Structure 1
Amino acid sequence: MLKRLWQIFGPVICALVLVVVVIYAYPQGRKYSYEAEKRSAVTLTNENFKSRKNKTTALSDQNHRFVPYFGSSEWLRFDALHPAVLAEKYDRNYRPYFIGQRGSASLNQYLGMQQMLPELQNGTAVYVLSPQWFTKKGYNSAAFQQFFNNDQLSSFLSQNQTDANSQYAAKRILEMKPEITMKSQLSKVAKGQDLNTVDKTYIQFMAELNRREDSLFSPLAASNNANYDKKVLPYLKELPDQFSYDALDQLAVRDAEAHTKSNDFGIDDRFYKERLSKKIGKLKGFQKNLSYEVSQEYGDLQLVLNQFAKSNTNVIFVIPPVNSKWMAYTGLNQDMYDATVSKIRYQLESQGFTNIADFSKDGDQPYFMQDTIHMGWKGWVAFDRVVNSFVSNPTPAPSYKLNDRFYSKDWSGYTGTPSQFK
């Protein structure tokens, strides 16, 4: 009987042991390569988002300063005025490391931060905060899972904390992925229960295994991506050699005029043709009932704020606008949008996060938006005027005063005057 069981399960056990041995045998040291780091910084893929080593190698390079730029799909809007192109052309004292793409909102960003806590400590960051994330239905599990991995989970659990922040995060992870590795330990954290010695030992083992696995596969996460060579370097020659915001604004207008001839919305021709032209009639008025004021995303945002405060990170938040012509066409309510921004700003400012670049009212400026909700051309220039100054001249983080009430359902569902929330 034992022989038969071994014949069935023996090969599987041996294969698992071999995998663990290979993972543990793989060297863990970091090899710094500025060229590789610059390419990784613009590798906007799910795999690179989830990779610990690629991020931490660049962000820990003492000879070259990389700054994390957290956000979502706006980073994919490359043109001559994209932040990566400007930083490279004018050889600034930093390079942006872009973290996020379409579908990566605050919960994923918070968990990704767990992989890079030493690199965030006492550092500088940029965080683009899109009101479009704050939908009533909230983040869906499919979107969450494409940016989530076990290394983030074990990194989170390794903190061994049972405060309101950790409880909320654990509950949200279980909502997004009910059947999950280390569910027993995660459930304890969600309930505010202490982890026992067995739990902590298991978490430490898994954390080490996940880190080593990430180290083994991290080269693949940044391979076969040509954003730096195809979407950064070619644009350098279009920029003036002498830096000037007036010259950049003029370039932005010329580029925008050349690429917005097919529609009356000021939207990039290619985007309009590929994404909108065939269904434009069906989109009229389709956002008239949409609201961003009630959303679980406010609690997810609080996770991010909590982490920035713990890490003593000085961060600038960027709030983008919506293309005003598109807003009018689709029926998106401007008053609702303004109320959402006010609610977001109150959550930030009341806790000491006062570095805010609020562009929410600039959606009616010609050539500010590249498409319906993403900045481009003159929008990128406006972005750079504020963000470059902040990042180029790093200062210590202000004194943050966190309020756990922002995790509550009362706040996520609140639609009154933000300053009157109790």
Structure 2
Amino acid sequence: MSKKILSHFAPLLVALIILGLIFCWPSKKTIEKPKVWQQASTSMASNVFGGMAIKNPAIASGEYVPFFGSSELSRLSPFHPSVLAEKYHRSYRPFLLGAPGTQSLSQFAISNSLSKELTNKKAVFIISPQWFTKKGMEDLEFNAYFSELELYHWLLSIDQVRDSDRYYARRLLGFSRIKDNAKMSAILSEIANGSNQLSRKQRHYLEYNYQLLQKEDHLFTQIGMLSKEKKINYFAKKLPSEYNYQTLDSLAEKIGQKHTNNNRFEIDNVFYKSRLEFGLKELKNSQRKWNYCQSPEYADFQLVLNQFAQSHTQVLFIIPPVNQKWSDYTGLSQEMLQRFAKKIKYQLQSQGFTDIADFSKDANVRFFMADTIHLGWRGWLRADEAIAPFLAQPYQPTNYHLNNAQFFSKKWQNQENIE
């Protein structure tokens, strides 16, 4: 009988112990352990980039530079930014922020949580064309990477509500994770509908919960954090001891050939075998009507630019291509992709974001891509030719001039062509 009683109440006891730990845990908010930072920097774990206990002090240290992106950051090879920085003893180490499925809304939340650490600093941001779909970020992806801690951080950072805050509040209210929280929905609805600031009662509620979330973050942020450190060291050993672009480019071409020899698209063998081969016939001409020039993602991306402008962050934006051998097969228009690149560059350059590495015209360069949409061996090496000098040069004071009236508008989201 006693065993049955114990088994019945065991989950409750565990829950009470965890709850007690959260309430009683010291209020220290960060983890100051360089070894943990190193492991976390390549993990791409959602509890790391959605938390603040590890990534914030790591980036504040000056040893790590935030690399914002999505699934391309998870594709390791000898030419990945983390490998090149390790092998050639760069003055920086990338801190990878994102995962497959993260888009501008996720990156805004992450960058806002780093607002202090990014002030007068540098960052690298990879813009994926495939984010810019008709619907923009889907509910499933938003919910998967939603960070309550980062939401509370943003709300508590508001002194006077700006147009960017109202836009973000309206966007958040469209996702089920927010709709299911009546209290949070009420706060966001007030912001979206014109309230200029939080009430004292709302701020007290947010501060109390924010402190609990910080303790929870400190306790659990390392759970499930799988470092790619061993893989990075493995790939680094495959590179020559001295950096020479021509030598490395020849090596990248050789490795690319070896890893893409089971298909005609120059797509990584494993990716092709596991993800494409079985349904290949159905994919022919399946993307003819896809259009990345009309999307709410453009306005979501404007949120990110607002945050970088507020923090005076100097950012290198990278625009990758789409594998042309693959797009020719699926019918995805390279002409449309050029219009996408022109539109996103206009949004950047017209507001003073001029550090841009546009590789959208390299779609047909052999082994530039690892698969259909992700930078590969020669692609990452070309990107490094922009990244390394950008990060080697001293920070330059920014001169951003935001035009939110234009770039948050429905007209801009749906504008097809840029004159």
Structures share fold, TM-score greater than 0.5: yes
- 1:141 deviates by 0.8
Alpha-carbon distance between aligned partners in 1 of 2:185 and 2:14, rounded to the nearest angstrom: 25
1:288-307 superposed matches below 5 A: 288-307=288-307
1:386-416 CA-partner distances (Å, limit 9, x unpaired): 0111112232242000011211111101113
1:156-198 CA-partner distances (Å, limit 9, x unpaired): 1102242110000011111123223522211111112032111
Q: Judging changes above 3 Å, is the alpha-carbon distance between structure 1 residues 191 and 373 closer, same or farther for their aligned structure 2 residues?
A: same
User: 2:22 matched to 1:23?
Assistant: yes
Alpha-carbon distance between aligned partners in 2 of 1:362 and 1:33, rounded to the nearest angstrom: 41
Q: Judging changes above 3 Å, is the alpha-carbon distance between structure 1 residues 71 and 29 closer, same or farther for their aligned structure 2 residues?
A: closer
Alpha-carbon distance between aligned partners in 1 of 2:193 and 2:69, rounded to the nearest angstrom: 30
1:22-421 superposed matches below 5 A: 22-27=21-26, 28=28, 30-61=30-61, 65-160=63-158, 161-177=160-176, 178-180=179-181, 182-193=184-195, 194-222=197-225, 225-229=226-230, 231-404=231-404, 405-417=406-418, 419=419
TM-score in terms of structure 1 length: 0.91
TM-score in terms of structure 2 length: 0.92
Amino acid at match of 2:95: Y
Alpha-carbon distance between aligned partners in 2 of 1:204 and 1:44, rounded to the nearest angstrom: 28
Q: Judging changes above 3 Å, is the alpha-carbon distance between structure 1 residues 158 and 14 closer, same or farther for their aligned structure 2 residues?
A: farther
Amino acid at match of 1:235: F
Alpha-carbon distance between aligned partners in 2 of 1:30 and 1:50, rounded to the nearest angstrom: 14
Identify the residue that residue 4 of structure 1 maps to in structure 2: none
Query: Which of 24-33 and 335-344 deviates more?
Result: 24-33
- 1:20 deviates by 5.5
- 1:19 deviates by 5.5
- 1:21 deviates by 4.7
Alpha-carbon distance between aligned partners in 1 of 2:235 and 2:87, rounded to the nearest angstrom: 9
Q: Judging changes above 3 Å, is the alpha-carbon distance between structure 1 residues 359 and 287 closer, same or farther for their aligned structure 2 residues?
A: same
Amino acid at match of 1:320: P
Q: 1:32 touches 1:61 (CA, 8 Å); kept in 2?
A: no
- 1:57 deviates by 2.4
Amino acid at match of 1:99: L
Q: Judging changes above 3 Å, is the alpha-carbon distance between structure 1 residues 15 and 184 closer, same or farther for their aligned structure 2 residues?
A: farther
- 1:202 deviates by 1.1
Identity %: 39
- 1:114 deviates by 2.6
Amino acid at match of 1:51: G
- 1:34 deviates by 2.7
Alpha-carbon distance between aligned partners in 2 of 1:192 and 1:179, rounded to the nearest angstrom: 22
Alpha-carbon distance between aligned partners in 2 of 1:43 and 1:16, rounded to the nearest angstrom: 28
Alpha-carbon distance between aligned partners in 2 of 1:31 and 1:16, rounded to the nearest angstrom: 24
- 1:22 deviates by 2.4
SS at match of 1:219: coil
What is the number of equivalent residue pairs in this alignment? 402
SS at match of 2:113: coil
Q: 2:260 touches 2:269 (CA, 8 Å); kept in 1?
A: yes
SS at match of 1:261: coil
Q: 1:68 touches 1:98 (CA, 8 Å); kept in 2?
A: yes
- 1:218 deviates by 1.3
Amino acid at match of 1:256: G
SS at match of 2:191: helix
Structure 2 residue ranges without an equivalent (≥5) = 1-10
SS at match of 1:166: helix
Alpha-carbon distance between aligned partners in 2 of 1:328 and 1:59, rounded to the nearest angstrom: 41
Query: Which of 314-323 and 47-56 deviates more?
Result: 47-56
**Once superposed, which parts of structure 1, at least 4 consecutive aligned residues long, lie more than 6 Å away?**
12-18
Alpha-carbon distance between aligned partners in 2 of 1:216 and 1:51, rounded to the nearest angstrom: 11
1:256-300 CA-partner distances (Å, limit 9, x unpaired): 111111111111111111111111111100000010111000010
Alpha-carbon distance between aligned partners in 2 of 1:395 and 1:205, rounded to the nearest angstrom: 37
1:199-236 CA-partner distances (Å, limit 9, x unpaired): 111111122221121111112152xx14111x211111
Q: 2:29 touches 2:53 (CA, 8 Å); kept in 1?
A: no
Q: Judging changes above 3 Å, is the alpha-carbon distance between structure 1 residues 330 and 15 closer, same or farther for their aligned structure 2 residues?
A: closer
